[in-house]
Structure 1
Amino acid sequence: MKVTLLGVGGSAGMPQIGGPDGFGDWGRLDPAEPRNRRTRSSIVIETDDQQRLLVDTSPDVRLQLTSAGIGRIEAVLYTHPHSDHIAGLDEIRVLNRILGRAMPTYATAGCWADLRRRFEYVFKPFSGTYFTRPVLETIEIAAGETVPILGLDVKLLDQDHGYSRSLGLRVRNFAYCTDVVHLDEVALAALTGLDLFVVDCFFRTGKHPTHAGLEQVLAWVERLRPKRTILTHMGPDMDYQALRAVLPPEIEPGYDGMVVAL
Protein backbone atom coordinates (compact mmCIF):
# COMPACT_ATOMS: atom_id res chain seq x y z
CA MET A 1 0.00 0.00 0.00
CA LYS A 2 1.15 3.53 -0.76
CA VAL A 3 -0.08 6.91 0.47
CA THR A 4 0.46 10.16 -1.45
CA LEU A 5 -0.11 13.45 0.35
CA LEU A 6 -1.52 15.55 -2.47
CA GLY A 7 -1.83 18.66 -0.31
CA VAL A 8 -1.01 19.50 3.31
CA GLY A 9 -2.24 23.09 3.61
CA GLY A 10 -5.10 24.67 5.49
CA SER A 11 -8.28 25.97 3.93
CA ALA A 12 -6.57 29.00 2.34
CA GLY A 13 -3.45 27.16 1.19
CA MET A 14 0.07 28.58 1.45
CA PRO A 15 0.82 31.25 0.53
CA GLN A 16 -2.58 32.78 1.14
CA ILE A 17 -3.91 35.42 -1.23
CA GLY A 18 -2.49 38.86 -0.48
CA GLY A 19 0.93 39.87 0.79
CA PRO A 20 2.71 43.24 0.46
CA ASP A 21 3.56 42.65 -3.21
CA GLY A 22 0.42 40.71 -4.12
CA PHE A 23 2.39 37.50 -4.65
CA GLY A 24 1.04 35.85 -1.52
CA ASP A 25 0.92 36.17 2.25
CA TRP A 26 3.39 33.65 3.67
CA GLY A 27 2.68 34.36 7.34
CA ARG A 28 5.70 33.11 9.29
CA LEU A 29 6.77 30.67 6.56
CA ASP A 30 9.99 30.99 4.58
CA PRO A 31 9.05 31.53 0.90
CA ALA A 32 12.45 30.14 -0.15
CA GLU A 33 11.59 26.68 1.25
CA PRO A 34 9.60 24.88 -1.50
CA ARG A 35 7.94 22.55 1.02
CA ASN A 36 6.18 25.59 2.53
CA ARG A 37 4.12 25.99 -0.67
CA ARG A 38 0.99 24.04 0.22
CA THR A 39 -2.25 23.22 -1.55
CA ARG A 40 -5.41 22.17 0.25
CA SER A 41 -5.45 18.89 2.18
CA SER A 42 -6.11 15.64 0.32
CA ILE A 43 -4.52 12.21 -0.06
CA VAL A 44 -4.54 9.19 -2.36
CA ILE A 45 -4.36 5.67 -0.96
CA GLU A 46 -3.02 3.16 -3.48
CA THR A 47 -3.74 -0.52 -2.98
CA ASP A 48 -1.34 -3.41 -3.52
CA ASP A 49 -2.82 -3.92 -7.02
CA GLN A 50 -2.46 -0.20 -7.87
CA GLN A 51 -6.07 0.89 -7.50
CA ARG A 52 -6.42 4.37 -6.02
CA LEU A 53 -8.79 5.89 -3.48
CA LEU A 54 -8.90 9.71 -3.53
CA VAL A 55 -9.80 11.19 -0.14
CA ASP A 56 -11.51 14.57 -0.73
CA THR A 57 -11.51 16.68 -3.89
CA SER A 58 -9.79 19.90 -2.89
CA PRO A 59 -9.99 23.06 -5.05
CA ASP A 60 -6.46 22.16 -6.20
CA VAL A 61 -7.11 18.52 -7.13
CA ARG A 62 -6.35 18.82 -10.86
CA LEU A 63 -2.90 20.28 -10.26
CA GLN A 64 -2.32 17.90 -7.35
CA LEU A 65 -2.99 14.77 -9.39
CA THR A 66 -1.02 15.92 -12.42
CA SER A 67 1.92 17.00 -10.24
CA ALA A 68 1.93 13.61 -8.48
CA GLY A 69 1.70 11.65 -11.74
CA ILE A 70 -1.63 10.10 -10.78
CA GLY A 71 -3.74 9.69 -13.91
CA ARG A 72 -6.52 7.40 -12.74
CA ILE A 73 -8.74 7.18 -9.65
CA GLU A 74 -11.04 4.22 -8.91
CA ALA A 75 -12.99 5.62 -5.93
CA VAL A 76 -13.51 8.83 -3.93
CA LEU A 77 -14.26 9.29 -0.23
CA TYR A 78 -15.30 12.56 1.43
CA THR A 79 -14.31 13.27 5.04
CA HIS A 80 -16.74 16.22 5.37
CA PRO A 81 -18.37 18.88 3.17
CA HIS A 82 -16.23 21.96 3.83
CA SER A 83 -15.25 23.82 0.65
CA ASP A 84 -11.52 23.11 0.90
CA HIS A 85 -12.38 19.39 0.76
CA ILE A 86 -15.15 19.31 -1.86
CA ALA A 87 -14.76 22.32 -4.18
CA GLY A 88 -12.82 20.30 -6.78
CA LEU A 89 -15.71 17.87 -7.28
CA ASP A 90 -16.22 18.93 -10.90
CA GLU A 91 -12.81 17.44 -11.82
CA ILE A 92 -14.37 14.01 -11.30
CA ARG A 93 -15.92 14.32 -14.79
CA VAL A 94 -12.48 13.81 -16.38
CA LEU A 95 -11.81 10.93 -13.98
CA ASN A 96 -15.16 9.48 -15.13
CA ARG A 97 -13.95 9.56 -18.73
CA ILE A 98 -10.74 7.75 -17.80
CA LEU A 99 -12.59 5.19 -15.66
CA GLY A 100 -15.38 4.82 -18.21
CA ARG A 101 -18.20 4.75 -15.69
CA ALA A 102 -19.76 6.42 -12.67
CA MET A 103 -17.25 7.10 -9.89
CA PRO A 104 -17.87 5.06 -6.71
CA THR A 105 -18.09 7.84 -4.12
CA TYR A 106 -18.43 7.44 -0.36
CA ALA A 107 -19.84 10.03 2.05
CA THR A 108 -22.05 10.33 5.11
CA ALA A 109 -25.75 11.16 4.80
CA GLY A 110 -25.08 14.71 5.98
CA CYS A 111 -22.26 15.18 3.50
CA TRP A 112 -24.42 13.86 0.65
CA ALA A 113 -27.14 16.35 1.59
CA ASP A 114 -24.64 19.23 1.39
CA LEU A 115 -23.20 17.98 -1.91
CA ARG A 116 -26.66 17.70 -3.46
CA ARG A 117 -27.49 21.23 -2.39
CA ARG A 118 -24.24 22.78 -3.61
CA PHE A 119 -23.71 20.65 -6.74
CA GLU A 120 -27.29 20.04 -7.85
CA TYR A 121 -26.31 19.53 -11.51
CA VAL A 122 -24.16 16.51 -10.61
CA PHE A 123 -27.18 14.52 -9.42
CA LYS A 124 -29.43 14.93 -12.46
CA PRO A 125 -30.23 11.75 -14.44
CA PHE A 126 -27.33 10.63 -16.61
CA SER A 127 -27.94 9.74 -20.26
CA GLY A 128 -25.01 7.33 -20.38
CA THR A 129 -23.32 8.95 -23.38
CA TYR A 130 -20.48 11.38 -22.65
CA PHE A 131 -19.29 12.69 -19.29
CA THR A 132 -19.92 16.44 -19.52
CA ARG A 133 -20.28 16.58 -15.74
CA PRO A 134 -19.32 14.36 -12.83
CA VAL A 135 -21.35 11.19 -12.48
CA LEU A 136 -21.23 9.56 -9.06
CA GLU A 137 -22.23 6.18 -7.72
CA THR A 138 -23.46 7.46 -4.34
CA ILE A 139 -22.58 5.17 -1.44
CA GLU A 140 -23.68 6.23 2.05
CA ILE A 141 -21.33 5.51 4.93
CA ALA A 142 -21.29 6.34 8.65
CA ALA A 143 -18.75 6.82 11.40
CA GLY A 144 -18.10 3.59 13.29
CA GLU A 145 -18.41 1.41 10.20
CA THR A 146 -15.68 -0.56 8.48
CA VAL A 147 -16.30 -0.28 4.75
CA PRO A 148 -14.69 -2.39 1.99
CA ILE A 149 -13.28 -0.05 -0.67
CA LEU A 150 -11.07 -1.35 -3.50
CA GLY A 151 -10.25 -4.42 -1.47
CA LEU A 152 -9.26 -2.39 1.61
CA ASP A 153 -11.11 -2.46 4.92
CA VAL A 154 -11.55 1.25 5.72
CA LYS A 155 -12.50 1.92 9.34
CA LEU A 156 -14.38 5.23 9.72
CA LEU A 157 -13.79 7.30 12.84
CA ASP A 158 -16.09 9.98 14.22
CA GLN A 159 -14.15 13.23 14.75
CA ASP A 160 -14.99 16.48 16.52
CA HIS A 161 -14.34 19.32 14.04
CA GLY A 162 -15.50 22.07 16.37
CA TYR A 163 -18.80 23.24 14.90
CA SER A 164 -19.27 20.06 12.86
CA ARG A 165 -18.15 16.44 12.52
CA SER A 166 -15.65 14.86 10.16
CA LEU A 167 -14.50 11.34 9.33
CA GLY A 168 -11.09 9.95 10.16
CA LEU A 169 -9.84 6.83 8.37
CA ARG A 170 -7.86 3.81 9.41
CA VAL A 171 -6.60 1.38 6.77
CA ARG A 172 -4.42 -1.44 8.10
CA ASN A 173 -1.79 0.32 10.24
CA PHE A 174 -2.25 3.72 8.61
CA ALA A 175 -4.61 6.47 9.82
CA TYR A 176 -5.61 9.81 8.31
CA CYS A 177 -7.19 12.28 10.72
CA THR A 178 -7.53 15.68 9.10
CA ASP A 179 -9.84 18.49 10.28
CA VAL A 180 -10.14 17.43 13.91
CA VAL A 181 -9.90 19.34 17.18
CA HIS A 182 -10.73 16.51 19.59
CA LEU A 183 -10.64 12.71 19.52
CA ASP A 184 -12.81 10.79 21.96
CA GLU A 185 -11.92 7.53 23.66
CA VAL A 186 -13.55 5.43 20.94
CA ALA A 187 -11.48 7.11 18.24
CA LEU A 188 -8.28 6.91 20.27
CA ALA A 189 -8.82 3.20 20.90
CA ALA A 190 -9.15 2.71 17.13
CA LEU A 191 -5.82 4.49 16.55
CA THR A 192 -3.53 2.23 18.55
CA GLY A 193 -0.74 0.23 16.89
CA LEU A 194 -0.18 2.56 13.92
CA ASP A 195 2.82 2.52 11.63
CA LEU A 196 1.81 5.88 10.12
CA PHE A 197 -0.40 8.62 11.58
CA VAL A 198 -1.18 11.59 9.30
CA VAL A 199 -2.90 14.17 11.47
CA ASP A 200 -4.32 17.69 11.41
CA CYS A 201 -1.95 20.25 12.98
CA PHE A 202 -2.91 23.79 12.01
CA PHE A 203 -0.73 25.88 14.32
CA ARG A 204 2.26 25.77 16.68
CA THR A 205 0.86 27.82 19.59
CA GLY A 206 -2.52 28.94 20.87
CA LYS A 207 -6.00 27.45 20.51
CA HIS A 208 -8.29 27.01 17.53
CA PRO A 209 -12.02 26.17 17.64
CA THR A 210 -11.91 23.58 14.84
CA HIS A 211 -8.34 22.31 14.40
CA ALA A 212 -5.72 20.61 16.55
CA GLY A 213 -2.44 22.35 17.27
CA LEU A 214 1.03 21.03 17.96
CA GLU A 215 0.48 20.66 21.71
CA GLN A 216 -2.58 18.49 21.16
CA VAL A 217 -0.89 16.39 18.46
CA LEU A 218 2.11 15.75 20.71
CA ALA A 219 -0.26 14.57 23.44
CA TRP A 220 -1.97 12.19 21.00
CA VAL A 221 1.39 10.85 19.84
CA GLU A 222 2.52 10.36 23.45
CA ARG A 223 -0.56 8.24 24.10
CA LEU A 224 -0.83 6.36 20.79
CA ARG A 225 2.88 5.82 20.10
CA PRO A 226 2.66 5.53 16.29
CA LYS A 227 5.93 4.60 14.61
CA ARG A 228 5.76 7.68 12.38
CA THR A 229 3.62 10.84 12.49
CA ILE A 230 3.21 13.32 9.63
CA LEU A 231 1.50 16.69 10.12
CA THR A 232 -1.04 18.00 7.61
CA HIS A 233 -3.58 20.84 7.19
CA MET A 234 -0.87 23.26 8.35
CA GLY A 235 -1.35 26.99 8.73
CA PRO A 236 0.73 30.19 8.45
CA ASP A 237 3.03 29.60 11.45
CA MET A 238 4.00 26.02 10.53
CA ASP A 239 7.34 26.61 8.78
CA TYR A 240 8.83 23.36 7.47
CA GLN A 241 12.43 23.82 8.60
CA ALA A 242 11.49 25.43 11.92
CA LEU A 243 9.37 22.39 12.72
CA ARG A 244 12.07 19.92 11.67
CA ALA A 245 14.46 21.69 14.05
CA VAL A 246 12.28 21.12 17.13
CA LEU A 247 10.34 17.92 16.44
CA PRO A 248 11.68 14.45 17.25
CA PRO A 249 12.65 12.36 14.19
CA GLU A 250 9.47 10.27 14.35
CA ILE A 251 7.27 13.39 13.91
CA GLU A 252 7.60 15.56 10.80
CA PRO A 253 5.69 18.11 8.75
CA GLY A 254 4.32 16.77 5.52
CA TYR A 255 4.70 18.41 2.12
CA ASP A 256 2.75 18.39 -1.12
CA GLY A 257 3.53 15.30 -3.19
CA MET A 258 5.05 13.35 -0.29
CA VAL A 259 4.82 9.58 -0.88
CA VAL A 260 4.96 6.98 1.89
CA ALA A 261 5.10 3.25 1.19
CA LEU A 262 3.58 0.96 3.80
Structure 2
Amino acid sequence: MSRSTDTATLRVTLLGTGTSTGVPVIGCSCRVCRSSDPRDRRTRCACYIEANGLGILIDTGPDFRQQALREGIRRLDAVLYTHHHFDHVAGIDDLRPFFFENSRPIPCYAPPNTARVLYRMFSYIFADGTYPGVPRLHLHAVEGPFEITSRYGDAARLRVEPIEVLHGQLPMYGYRIGHFAYLTDASQLPESSYERLQDLDVLVLDALRERPHPTHFSIDEAIQVARRIGARQTYFIHMTHDVLHAEVDARLPEGINLAYDGLQFTCRLTTS
Protein backbone atom coordinates (compact mmCIF):
# COMPACT_ATOMS: atom_id res chain seq x y z
CA MET A 1 0.00 0.00 0.00
CA SER A 2 1.56 3.25 -1.14
CA ARG A 3 -1.14 5.50 -2.48
CA SER A 4 -1.00 9.23 -2.85
CA THR A 5 -3.34 11.13 -0.58
CA ASP A 6 -4.48 14.73 -0.77
CA THR A 7 -2.17 16.97 1.26
CA ALA A 8 -5.17 18.12 3.31
CA THR A 9 -6.28 14.58 4.25
CA LEU A 10 -4.92 11.44 5.84
CA ARG A 11 -5.95 7.86 5.11
CA VAL A 12 -6.19 5.31 7.92
CA THR A 13 -6.31 1.52 7.69
CA LEU A 14 -7.10 -0.42 10.84
CA LEU A 15 -4.87 -3.44 10.41
CA GLY A 16 -6.18 -5.30 13.45
CA THR A 17 -9.01 -4.68 15.92
CA GLY A 18 -8.81 -7.60 18.35
CA THR A 19 -7.65 -8.12 21.89
CA SER A 20 -4.44 -9.88 22.96
CA THR A 21 -5.62 -13.41 22.10
CA GLY A 22 -7.08 -12.43 18.73
CA VAL A 23 -10.47 -13.72 17.59
CA PRO A 24 -11.21 -16.57 17.10
CA VAL A 25 -9.48 -17.70 20.28
CA ILE A 26 -7.44 -20.91 20.10
CA GLY A 27 -9.54 -23.86 21.27
CA CYS A 28 -12.75 -21.87 21.68
CA SER A 29 -16.07 -22.88 20.12
CA CYS A 30 -18.23 -19.94 21.25
CA ARG A 31 -20.59 -18.38 18.73
CA VAL A 32 -18.23 -15.46 18.02
CA CYS A 33 -15.25 -17.74 17.41
CA ARG A 34 -17.46 -19.85 15.10
CA SER A 35 -18.99 -16.81 13.37
CA SER A 36 -18.96 -16.68 9.57
CA ASP A 37 -19.05 -12.87 9.65
CA PRO A 38 -15.56 -11.70 8.58
CA ARG A 39 -15.93 -8.73 10.95
CA ASP A 40 -15.70 -11.21 13.85
CA ARG A 41 -12.21 -12.32 12.79
CA ARG A 42 -9.93 -9.93 14.65
CA THR A 43 -6.15 -9.88 14.53
CA ARG A 44 -4.17 -8.01 17.16
CA CYS A 45 -4.44 -4.20 17.11
CA ALA A 46 -2.32 -2.13 14.74
CA CYS A 47 -2.94 0.85 12.47
CA TYR A 48 -1.40 2.20 9.24
CA ILE A 49 -1.62 5.88 8.32
CA GLU A 50 -0.85 7.56 4.98
CA ALA A 51 -0.46 11.32 5.12
CA ASN A 52 1.64 13.89 3.23
CA GLY A 53 3.07 10.98 1.25
CA LEU A 54 4.39 9.29 4.42
CA GLY A 55 3.57 5.81 5.69
CA ILE A 56 3.28 5.49 9.47
CA LEU A 57 2.60 2.39 11.53
CA ILE A 58 1.14 2.32 15.03
CA ASP A 59 2.38 -0.82 16.87
CA THR A 60 3.85 -4.05 15.51
CA GLY A 61 1.81 -6.85 17.02
CA PRO A 62 2.35 -10.59 16.41
CA ASP A 63 0.01 -10.46 13.38
CA PHE A 64 1.81 -7.60 11.64
CA ARG A 65 3.30 -9.73 8.86
CA GLN A 66 -0.05 -11.06 7.66
CA GLN A 67 -1.65 -7.63 8.07
CA ALA A 68 1.02 -5.95 5.92
CA LEU A 69 0.67 -8.63 3.24
CA ARG A 70 -3.12 -8.39 3.29
CA GLU A 71 -3.09 -4.61 2.85
CA GLY A 72 -0.12 -4.42 0.49
CA ILE A 73 1.92 -2.06 2.66
CA ARG A 74 5.08 -1.01 0.80
CA ARG A 75 6.20 2.25 2.43
CA LEU A 76 7.18 2.81 6.04
CA ASP A 77 8.68 6.05 7.36
CA ALA A 78 8.16 5.61 11.11
CA VAL A 79 6.66 3.40 13.80
CA LEU A 80 4.73 4.77 16.78
CA TYR A 81 4.52 2.52 19.84
CA THR A 82 1.68 2.91 22.31
CA HIS A 83 3.13 0.63 25.01
CA HIS A 84 5.29 -2.45 25.44
CA HIS A 85 2.80 -5.31 25.89
CA PHE A 86 3.46 -8.39 23.74
CA ASP A 87 0.38 -8.01 21.54
CA HIS A 88 1.62 -4.56 20.43
CA VAL A 89 5.34 -5.18 19.89
CA ALA A 90 6.02 -8.85 19.11
CA GLY A 91 6.09 -8.38 15.33
CA ILE A 92 8.96 -5.90 15.40
CA ASP A 93 11.32 -8.22 13.54
CA ASP A 94 8.88 -8.32 10.61
CA LEU A 95 9.98 -4.77 9.79
CA ARG A 96 13.09 -6.24 8.10
CA PRO A 97 11.63 -6.38 4.55
CA PHE A 98 11.24 -2.59 4.57
CA PHE A 99 15.04 -2.40 4.40
CA PHE A 100 15.45 -4.62 1.35
CA GLU A 101 15.09 -1.67 -1.06
CA ASN A 102 15.76 1.20 1.36
CA SER A 103 18.60 0.88 3.86
CA ARG A 104 17.84 4.08 5.76
CA PRO A 105 16.92 3.47 9.43
CA ILE A 106 13.30 3.59 10.54
CA PRO A 107 12.67 5.84 13.55
CA CYS A 108 10.54 4.31 16.30
CA TYR A 109 8.82 6.62 18.78
CA ALA A 110 7.54 5.52 22.19
CA PRO A 111 6.74 6.74 25.70
CA PRO A 112 9.89 6.79 27.87
CA ASN A 113 8.80 3.77 29.95
CA THR A 114 8.07 1.78 26.78
CA ALA A 115 11.34 2.80 25.16
CA ARG A 116 13.25 1.44 28.16
CA VAL A 117 11.44 -1.91 27.97
CA LEU A 118 11.82 -2.20 24.19
CA TYR A 119 15.56 -1.57 24.55
CA ARG A 120 15.78 -4.53 26.92
CA MET A 121 13.30 -6.82 25.13
CA PHE A 122 14.93 -6.37 21.74
CA SER A 123 18.54 -5.73 22.73
CA TYR A 124 19.74 -7.60 19.62
CA ILE A 125 18.20 -4.72 17.61
CA PHE A 126 18.62 -1.65 19.80
CA ALA A 127 21.67 -2.43 21.95
CA ASP A 128 23.81 -4.88 20.00
CA GLY A 129 22.87 -4.52 16.35
CA THR A 130 25.79 -6.64 15.15
CA TYR A 131 23.74 -9.56 13.84
CA PRO A 132 23.48 -9.19 10.04
CA GLY A 133 19.98 -8.57 8.77
CA VAL A 134 18.39 -7.12 11.92
CA PRO A 135 16.06 -4.21 11.21
CA ARG A 136 17.85 -0.87 11.48
CA LEU A 137 15.58 0.86 13.97
CA HIS A 138 16.35 4.06 15.87
CA LEU A 139 14.41 4.24 19.12
CA HIS A 140 13.26 7.65 20.39
CA ALA A 141 11.64 8.28 23.77
CA VAL A 142 9.25 11.20 23.30
CA GLU A 143 7.43 13.35 25.83
CA GLY A 144 5.71 15.85 23.58
CA PRO A 145 4.79 16.55 19.94
CA PHE A 146 7.36 15.56 17.34
CA GLU A 147 7.83 15.62 13.58
CA ILE A 148 8.25 12.67 11.24
CA THR A 149 10.25 13.14 8.05
CA SER A 150 10.64 10.98 4.98
CA ARG A 151 13.17 8.14 4.79
CA TYR A 152 12.74 8.03 1.00
CA GLY A 153 14.53 11.26 0.15
CA ASP A 154 11.55 13.53 -0.43
CA ALA A 155 10.52 16.56 1.60
CA ALA A 156 7.46 15.03 3.31
CA ARG A 157 6.92 15.93 6.97
CA LEU A 158 4.19 15.28 9.52
CA ARG A 159 3.48 16.44 13.07
CA VAL A 160 2.42 13.82 15.64
CA GLU A 161 1.03 14.55 19.10
CA PRO A 162 1.25 11.87 21.84
CA ILE A 163 -1.88 11.64 24.01
CA GLU A 164 -1.44 10.34 27.55
CA VAL A 165 -3.75 7.51 28.62
CA LEU A 166 -3.78 4.98 31.45
CA HIS A 167 -3.97 1.23 30.83
CA GLY A 168 -4.82 0.20 34.37
CA GLN A 169 -1.84 1.64 36.26
CA LEU A 170 0.41 1.73 33.19
CA PRO A 171 0.97 5.17 31.61
CA MET A 172 1.06 4.88 27.83
CA TYR A 173 0.32 6.89 24.69
CA GLY A 174 -2.37 7.25 22.15
CA TYR A 175 -1.57 9.46 19.15
CA ARG A 176 -3.23 12.35 17.37
CA ILE A 177 -2.42 13.30 13.76
CA GLY A 178 -4.47 16.08 12.26
CA HIS A 179 -8.13 15.45 13.04
CA PHE A 180 -7.59 11.75 13.80
CA ALA A 181 -6.79 10.12 17.17
CA TYR A 182 -5.98 6.52 18.05
CA LEU A 183 -6.40 5.39 21.68
CA THR A 184 -5.96 1.68 22.26
CA ASP A 185 -5.65 -0.19 25.59
CA ALA A 186 -7.15 2.55 27.72
CA SER A 187 -9.06 2.51 30.99
CA GLN A 188 -8.75 6.20 31.91
CA LEU A 189 -7.94 9.52 30.27
CA PRO A 190 -6.39 12.41 32.20
CA GLU A 191 -8.27 15.69 31.96
CA SER A 192 -5.41 17.19 29.97
CA SER A 193 -5.87 14.53 27.30
CA TYR A 194 -9.56 15.38 26.84
CA GLU A 195 -8.51 18.96 26.14
CA ARG A 196 -6.19 17.77 23.34
CA LEU A 197 -8.84 15.64 21.65
CA GLN A 198 -11.18 18.35 20.47
CA ASP A 199 -12.39 18.76 16.87
CA LEU A 200 -11.75 15.19 15.73
CA ASP A 201 -13.14 13.76 12.54
CA VAL A 202 -12.49 10.18 13.70
CA LEU A 203 -11.62 8.74 17.11
CA VAL A 204 -10.48 5.11 17.41
CA LEU A 205 -11.01 3.94 20.99
CA ASP A 206 -10.52 0.84 23.14
CA ALA A 207 -13.77 -0.98 24.04
CA LEU A 208 -12.95 -4.48 25.23
CA ARG A 209 -16.36 -6.02 25.96
CA GLU A 210 -19.65 -5.28 27.72
CA ARG A 211 -18.51 -6.51 31.14
CA PRO A 212 -16.17 -4.21 33.13
CA HIS A 213 -12.42 -4.86 33.06
CA PRO A 214 -9.71 -3.33 35.29
CA THR A 215 -7.41 -2.18 32.47
CA HIS A 216 -9.69 -1.55 29.47
CA PHE A 217 -12.81 0.50 28.83
CA SER A 218 -15.97 -1.55 28.69
CA ILE A 219 -18.31 -0.73 25.81
CA ASP A 220 -20.53 1.42 28.04
CA GLU A 221 -17.50 3.26 29.44
CA ALA A 222 -16.14 3.81 25.95
CA ILE A 223 -19.48 5.24 24.84
CA GLN A 224 -19.31 7.80 27.64
CA VAL A 225 -15.74 8.75 26.74
CA ALA A 226 -16.64 8.99 23.05
CA ARG A 227 -19.60 11.26 23.80
CA ARG A 228 -17.44 13.54 25.92
CA ILE A 229 -14.78 13.83 23.22
CA GLY A 230 -17.42 14.39 20.56
CA ALA A 231 -15.64 13.15 17.43
CA ARG A 232 -17.74 13.14 14.29
CA GLN A 233 -17.23 9.38 14.11
CA THR A 234 -15.90 6.95 16.70
CA TYR A 235 -14.77 3.37 16.04
CA PHE A 236 -14.25 0.86 18.84
CA ILE A 237 -11.31 -1.57 18.76
CA HIS A 238 -9.60 -4.23 20.91
CA MET A 239 -12.75 -6.33 21.21
CA THR A 240 -12.78 -9.83 22.71
CA HIS A 241 -14.72 -12.88 21.58
CA ASP A 242 -17.54 -11.73 23.87
CA VAL A 243 -18.50 -9.19 21.20
CA LEU A 244 -20.57 -10.38 18.21
CA HIS A 245 -20.13 -7.61 15.67
CA ALA A 246 -23.61 -7.55 14.14
CA GLU A 247 -25.46 -7.57 17.45
CA VAL A 248 -23.34 -5.09 19.39
CA ASP A 249 -22.82 -2.66 16.50
CA ALA A 250 -26.60 -2.44 15.98
CA ARG A 251 -27.07 -1.25 19.58
CA LEU A 252 -24.47 1.52 19.53
CA PRO A 253 -25.45 5.21 19.41
CA GLU A 254 -25.35 7.16 16.17
CA GLY A 255 -21.80 8.08 15.19
CA ILE A 256 -20.27 5.20 17.15
CA ASN A 257 -19.50 1.84 15.53
CA LEU A 258 -17.41 -1.25 16.03
CA ALA A 259 -14.34 -1.31 13.81
CA TYR A 260 -13.17 -4.39 11.93
CA ASP A 261 -9.90 -5.53 10.39
CA GLY A 262 -9.20 -3.71 7.14
CA LEU A 263 -11.54 -0.78 7.81
CA GLN A 264 -10.36 2.33 5.95
CA PHE A 265 -11.38 5.98 6.25
CA THR A 266 -10.03 9.46 5.66
CA CYS A 267 -9.79 12.49 7.95
CA ARG A 268 -8.75 16.10 7.61
CA LEU A 269 -5.07 16.58 8.11
CA THR A 270 -5.20 20.37 8.25
CA THR A 271 -7.85 23.00 8.78
CA SER A 272 -7.29 24.52 5.35
Letter in structure 1 aligned against 2:120 = R
CA distance in 2, matches of 1:159, 1:203: 19
Indicate whether 1:57 and 2:56 are aligned. Answer: no
Indicate whether 1:2 and 2:3 are aligned. Answer: no
Letter in structure 2 aligned against 1:174 = F
How far did 1:251 drift?
0.8
> What fraction of aligned residue pairs are identical, expressed as a percent?
35
How far did 1:26 drift?
4.4
What residue in structure 2 maps to residue 22 of structure 1? none
In the TM superposition, 1:89-104 aligns within 5 A as 89-104=92-107
What residue in structure 2 maps to residue 148 of structure 1? 147
Indicate whether 1:180 and 2:186 are aligned. Answer: yes
Indicate whether 1:237 and 2:242 are aligned. Answer: yes
What residue in structure 2 maps to residue 86 of structure 1? 89
1:197 alignment partner, SS class: strand
Give the alignment's TM-score, normalised by structure 1: 0.90
Indicate whether 1:68 and 2:71 are aligned. Answer: yes
1:13 alignment partner, SS class: coil
CA distance in 2, matches of 1:103, 1:196: 27
In the TM superposition, 1:135-174 aligns within 5 A as 135-142=136-143, 145-150=144-149, 151-174=157-180
How far did 1:131 drift?
5.6
- CA deviation string 1:124-150 (max 9, x = no partner): 4556xx9611221222212xx111124
8 Å CA contact retained: 1:41, 1:58: yes
| CA RMSD, Structure 1 to Structure 2 (Å) | 1.7
Letter in structure 2 aligned against 1:2 = R
8 Å CA contact retained: 1:14, 1:235: yes
Match of 2:200 among 183, 188, 194: 194
- CA deviation string 1:19-58 (max 9, x = no partner): 2xxxxx4464561111100000000111132x11101001
2:48 alignment partner, SS class: strand
1:155 alignment partner, SS class: strand
Letter in structure 2 aligned against 1:228 = Q
8 Å CA contact retained: 1:72, 1:98: no
Indicate whether 1:116 and 2:119 are aligned. Answer: yes
What residue in structure 1 maps to residue 225 of structure 2? 220
How far did 1:169 drift?
0.8
1:230 alignment partner, SS class: strand
Give the alignment's TM-score, normalised by structure 2: 0.87
- For the structure 1 residues 30 and 250, does the alpha-carbon distance in structure 2 shift closer, same or farther, using more than 3 Å as the test? farther
1:99 alignment partner, SS class: coil
What residue in structure 2 maps to residue 33 of structure 1? 37
Letter in structure 1 aligned against 2:91 = G
Q: Which runs of 5 or more residues in structure 1 are unaligned?
A: 20-24
8 Å CA contact retained: 2:126, 2:138: no
8 Å CA contact retained: 2:126, 2:139: no
How far did 1:248 drift?
2.7
1:63 alignment partner, SS class: helix
CA distance in 2, matches of 1:259, 1:120: 34
CA distance in 2, matches of 1:63, 1:43: 13
How far did 1:241 drift?
0.4
2:182 alignment partner, SS class: strand
Runs of 4+ residues over 6 Å off in structure 1:
none
CA distance in 2, matches of 1:26, 1:61: 25
